[in-house]
Structures are given as C-alpha cells and as structure tokens.
Structure 1
C-alpha cells in the first residue's frame, strides 16, 4: 500500500488562504499596510517630482535653444579690468554661422521711481545700454509696450526687465523713472529672459541715448550671439579671438543653457537624498509588517495546530503565512504607488510642469514591495512551520 500524498496548494488556494487571514484582522492590516504605503508613496513621489522638474527643464532648453553664447571681459595679466572693443559686436556678426548678435553695456547710473528717493536706494536694479538686436538674439518678448528702435534709442526712453519693473512698481508703459539725474519715459516691459536673468534686473536704454545723456563710453560689457546648432562649438572656439583679436585671453565665453543643464543634473543628487529617506520609511513599514505577522503567528497557534493535524505540511503552513505577508505588502505598495503618482501630478500641475512618473519607478516600487513582503514574512512563516501540532493544539 503506497503512502499518503498530501494535497498540493494551487495558486488560487494560496491566494484564498492568504486573504482569509487578512480579512480576520482588518484594522491591524490597514495600519501595517499604511507604513508600506507611506514609504512607497515617498519614493514614487520623489522620483516623479524630480522627473517632472527635469522634463520641464529639458523642454525649456528645447524651446530656448542651446545655441546662445555670451562673451564678457575677463581679467588682464596685471589684474586690471578688461574691456571689450567698441566694434566687437560688428566683428562677431561677420562670423559665417552667426545668425544674430546683441550687446549690452553697463552704465554708471542708478534708476529710481522718483527723484525724491535717495540715490543709494537702487533696489538692485542696474542701468544698461542695449543694442537694437538684443531682444531678437535673446528670444525674449515684450510683455507690454514696445522695444527700442532706431528712433526711440536716441531719446530718453527705457525698457524695463521683468524683475526691474516689479521692484519699481511700474508695470505699464507711459510712466517715468529717474535715471542719472533726468526723467526717462518707460517704453515697455519685458517678459522673463530665462537665459539672461541679468536682463530681468536691468533698465535698458538705447545705445545712443546712453552715450548722450548718461556718459556711457560705448564699450559693451556682454555680447550675446546665436549661431546654427551644428556650429555652436566651432563659433565658441573662435569667438574670443574675434571679439578681441589683440587679447583673446581677456574674453570669457560661456553658454547660458549650460546652467539649465547643470540644474537638471544637480536635481539627481538631491533626488538620491530624498530616495534614501523614502527607503528608511519603507524599511520602517517592513518592520511593521514583520511585527504584525509575528503577532499573527502567536495568536493563531491553535489554527496552525489544527491545520497540521488535518494533514497540512510544514511547507504549506510556511507558504500560507508568506502569502499573507506578500499580500499585506502588495496592498500597501499599490496604495502607495497611487498616492505617490497623485502627489506627483498635483505638484507638477501646481508648478506648471509636465507630470512624469517613469515606468521604471513603478516597476521599482513593485519590486521593493515584493522584497519587503518576502523579508518581513520569512521569519514568521518559518516560525509557524516549526510548530508541532500537539504543542499548538495544547495552547490555551
């Protein structure tokens, strides 16, 4: 006569047994799953918000272009302040691939809302002479009013950067501001210049007007240049020698879009820190699940003994409690994933970013949930399997 062979637990059977164990203690299950949910939600939200921010930066880069270069005076060999030549903008415009050139020159003057305000109160606003082509080179638009042209650039007119207008409390054309001891009419207000934040804090006057009324010496302090995308590096290599052929070492060339790219890269380091905090929260949630499962084993000793006496093997008892732990973790992981995605979408829409939750983040959340569930349930499952039927049934 052959020995008896214990019945095998199929997948659906394991699922039903695991769910039955969870339904018996709903309050404890919800509280334990909450710890897992908080950890998973934190990790998904951190990755999602970081990805949304990076996507917004990349879209801004695509919109603004990466083909803008700037040239500014650096230091001389003797530590003196260098200056760009007067005709440097025209020389740069003769470079073949260059499509647009704009220039600004710092003016030694202050701008104030009225002549009654003391001269030392400048609100951090600088005055600069601007060439006619500056606006088109930067790709910035006029929010209200008009930009400088060949006619208005000769007279006391000023165009305010977005931040300068806010600080002066002048957001409409037609008003007047006090610059260098005389009144200048506000011709327009610019939108934000994302690749040239210094323009936002400036009051821009015409080149001729700055020379006539404010004692400007005509030397540009910053040149802005755009070229075709394919030739940016070639232009960058010759820009300093073109701007100042005699002393190219006194010219500093940079690409403003590099700052946005660096900001996108720096977001990754901050994301790693926050992910570490999310991992700690997930670990705490895993400890809570393990504690719940250990208590469950202690409370259900008679149930375990009864199942063993009816023929359940140690492996089947082990699988039962391991399934409960995995289901408990999966419940918390699913809730945390939904919560994290919702937080990401809400925050991204609030900031005006495109909501992005990478698929690998969702896959990572699922993998982390299964790993925590397995680790948290392994010891309680093994402890339950080691109980002998007689000792378990004798438990009062």
Structure 2
C-alpha cells in the first residue's frame, strides 16, 4: 500500500474554516476590526483631505492665473526705504510678454474711520491706497457690491473698500466714511482677493483725488503685472532692472501664486503628524488582532486537538488561524477605507472642495491591513500548529 498523504485544503475551504472561527466570536471580532478600521480611516482621511485641499488650490490658481507678478520698492544698501521711479509702470508695460500693468500707492498719514467721532488711534489698521482704475482685471479681483473706481469717480471723494476693511468699519456701499480728514462715499466693496490679500484690508481711492486732496506723493508702492504664461520666469528675471534701472537691487519682485503654494506645502508637516497618529492607531488595531487570535488559540485547544487527531497537519492548523487573522484584518481594512472615504467626502463638501482620494491611498490602506493581519496572526498560528493532539485534548 502507498503512503497516506493528508489532503490539501482548498482556498474555499480555508476561507470557510477561517470565517467559521470569526463568526463564533462576533463581538470580539468587531472590536478588533474597529481598531484596524480607525487606523486605516485616519490615514485615508488625512491623505484625502490634503489632496482635496490641494486640488481646490490648483483650481483656484488655474482660475486666478499663476502669471501675476508684483513689484515693490525695497531698501537701499544703507537700510533706507527706496521708491520706484515715476516711469516704472510705463517701462514695465513695454516688456514684450507683459499683458497688463497696474499699481497702487500707499497714501502716507491718511487713515479711515467709520465717523469723525472715533479717536485717531482706533484706525483698525486699514491702509489707504491710491489705485489705478484698471486694478481689478490685473489682480483678478471682483466687486461684491457697487462698482469699482472709474475715470470719473477717481477724481472725487469716492472709496472702494476691501472685504476685511468693510467688515471692520461696518460700512456698506452708499454710506460715508471719514478718510484723511474728510468724508468719502463708499461706491463699492470687493470680494476677498486671494492673489493680493493686502487689498482686503485697504481703502482704495482714485489716484487723482489722492494727489489733489491727501498730499499723495504719486509713487507706486506695488506694481501688479500680468505676463504671458509661457514667459513668466523670463519677465520675473528682468522686472527689477526694468522698474529701476539705476538701482535694481532696491526692487522687490514676487509671485503671489508661489506664496499660496508655499502655504499649502507647510500643511504637509501637520499631515505627517496626523499620518503618524493614524499609524499608531493601526498598530493598536494590529495588537488587538494579535490578542484576539492568541485568546482564540487558548480557547480552542480542544478543537485543535480534535482536528489534529482526525488527521489535520500542522500546516493546515497554521493556515486556518492565519486565514482567520487575515480575514479579520481585511474586514477592518475594508471598513476603514469606506469610513476614510466618507469622512473625506463629507469634509470636502463642507469646505466646498472637490472630493479626491488617491487610488494609491485606498490600495495602500488595504495592503497595510493585510500585512498587519499576517504579522499579528503569525505567532498565534504557529503556536496553534505546535500543539500535539494529546496536549490539546487534555486541556479542560
């Protein structure tokens, strides 16, 4: 007679036996799976929310344009404040790839108040800026109410308030404000300007009225420049020399869209912290799986002994408990993926962002749970397979 060989467990049999072990202890299984699910959900939510926020920023930049450059006066070699030449705007406008140029100038000493009864020290930090009438199109700003300055109103005491300035003053379109020692009428209020946030806390008046009534020196303090998308870097490289050929080192050139991108990049530190917390939660879940499997081995020693006495091999016992561990982790991982995607979708919807969860995050989350399940179930599976039939059956 030939040597008897134990039959091999088919994949379907392994899953059926492993599932039966989990169904016998539903509460313990659920609690262990929840630990895994929390860790996976935390990691997917962090990645998903971060990606959704970045996608929203990309869409904003695409709508606003990444081709806005700003030019301003810096400091001289001796630390003194410099100013841009009167011809700076015209010279910048003659650069070939430049599409539009506009400017604002700070009106020194002018402050704005809700009324003439407010103490001079309580100005609210609102800057008074002389503005060219073509400002909105270049910086990508829009009017929330009223209108912006035009050729006519720029000569008269009319003011347009940034969103923050209007909120601080409690002023609306059509109401008067006390600016520079005289009354100005609010003709418009702006929406927030992402690429020029300094305008949000400013009161904008016409260039002519600023020079005629508020002793404005006429020097531009910020020149906004739109350049062709393909030539932004080239234009940025020559702006300082063009704006002030005599002292290009006294000119500051910046790109507001880069500042927004840098702000977004700083959030990666917080994301790393949250991912670390998610990993800790996942580790705790793995410990819970291991604990569940070890207790399962101790409770089921008679079952293990019976199966061994009926011919089950060590490898089959080991496969059974390893399958239980993997199924338990897969259950937690699937729940974690669903929970993480749901949290991302809810938060993104609340913020008005597009909901984006990278495929690698969900795939990686499931892969991580399987690795956790394998590691957590390996020791209990080996321990169960090493039990001899007599030792296991002798356990009360």
2:242 aligned residue: 242
User: Which residue does 2:176 correspond to in 1?
Assistant: 176
Equivalent position of 2:165 in the other structure: 164
The superposition leaves residues 311-353 of structure 1 with CA deviations (integer Å, 9 ceiling, x where unpaired) of 0000000000000000001111111110010000000111111
Q: CA deviation at 1:267?
A: 2.7
1:199-348 aligned at under 5 Å gives the runs 199-348=199-348
Aligned to 1:354: 354
- CA drift of 1:11 comes to 0.4
Q: Helix, strand or coil for the counterpart of 1:357?
A: coil
Give deviations 1:127-182, integer Å, cap 9, x for gaps. Answer: 10001111111011111111111110000000001111111112x31101000110
Shift of 1:245: 1.4
- For residues 175 and 14 of structure 1, the distance between their equivalents in structure 2, rounded to whole angstroms, comes to 78
1:47 maps to 47
Question: Unmatched 5+ residue regions in structure 1?
Answer: none
TM-superposed deviation, 1:85 = 1.3
Q: Distance in 2 between matches of 1:266 and 1:200?
A: 23
1:363 is aligned to 363
Answer yes or no: is the 8 Å Cα contact 1:160–1:203 preserved in 2.
yes
In 1, distance between residues paired with 2:371 and 2:263? 33
> CA offsets per residue over residues 183-212 of structure 1, 9 Å max, x none?
000010111111000001000000001111
Give the match's secondary structure for 2:27: helix
Query: 2 CA distance for matches of 1:314 and 1:41?
Result: 36
* Structure 1: 4+ residue segments shifted above 4 A: none
Instruction: Output the CA distance in 1 between the equivalents of 2:368 and 2:74.
Output: 52
Deviations 1:19-59 (A, max 9, x none): 10000000110011110011011011011011111111111
CA distance in 2, matches of 1:243, 1:382: 76
State the partner residue of 2:124: 123
Q: Is the 8 A contact 1:162 1:191 kept in 2?
A: yes
| 8 Å CA contact retained: 1:159, 1:205 | yes
**Cα pair 1:54 1:267 within 8 Å, conserved:** no
Q: d(CA) in 2 for partners of 1:97 and 1:369? A: 54
2:13 alignment counterpart: 13
Bigger Cα displacement from structure 2, 371-380 vs 224-233: 224-233
SS in 2 for 1:34: helix
Q: Residues of 2 paired with 1:99 and 1:76: CA distance?
A: 30
Alpha-carbon offset, residue 265 of structure 1? 2.4
TM-score (norm 1): 0.98
Q: Which one is further off, 302-311 or 124-133? A: 124-133
Q: Which whole-Å CA distance do the structure 1 matches of 2:308 and 2:61 have between them?
A: 66
Q: Deviations over 1:81-113 (max 9, x none)?
A: 101112311221111111111101011211110
Shift of 1:263: 2.3
Question: C-alpha root-mean-square deviation of aligned residues, in Å?
Answer: 0.8
| Cα distance in 2 between the residues matched to 1:178 and 1:244 | 35
Distance in 2, Cα, partners of 1:128 & 1:55: 33
| Structure-2 separation of matches of 1:73 and 1:13 | 77
Measured in 2, the distance between the counterparts of 1:18 and 1:291 equals 16
Aligned residue in 2 for 1:133: 134
Aligned length: 395
Aligned-partner SS, 1:295: helix
Query: Could you list the per-position Cα deviations for residues 259-293 of structure 1 after superposition, in whole angstroms to 9, with x for gaps in the alignment?
Result: 12212322333222211110011001100110010
Matches within 5 A, 1:148-159: 148-159=149-160
Structure 2 gaps of 5+ residues are none
Per-residue deviation, residues 227-272 of structure 1 (Å, max 9, x unmatched): 1111111111111111111111110111110012212322333222
Question: In 2, distance between residues paired with 1:143 and 1:105?
Answer: 23
* SS of residue matched to 1:188: strand
Counterpart position of 1:142:
143
Partner of 1:79: 79
TM (normalized to structure 2)?
0.98
Separation of aligned partners in 2, 1:47 and 1:139: 30
SS in 2 for 1:185: strand
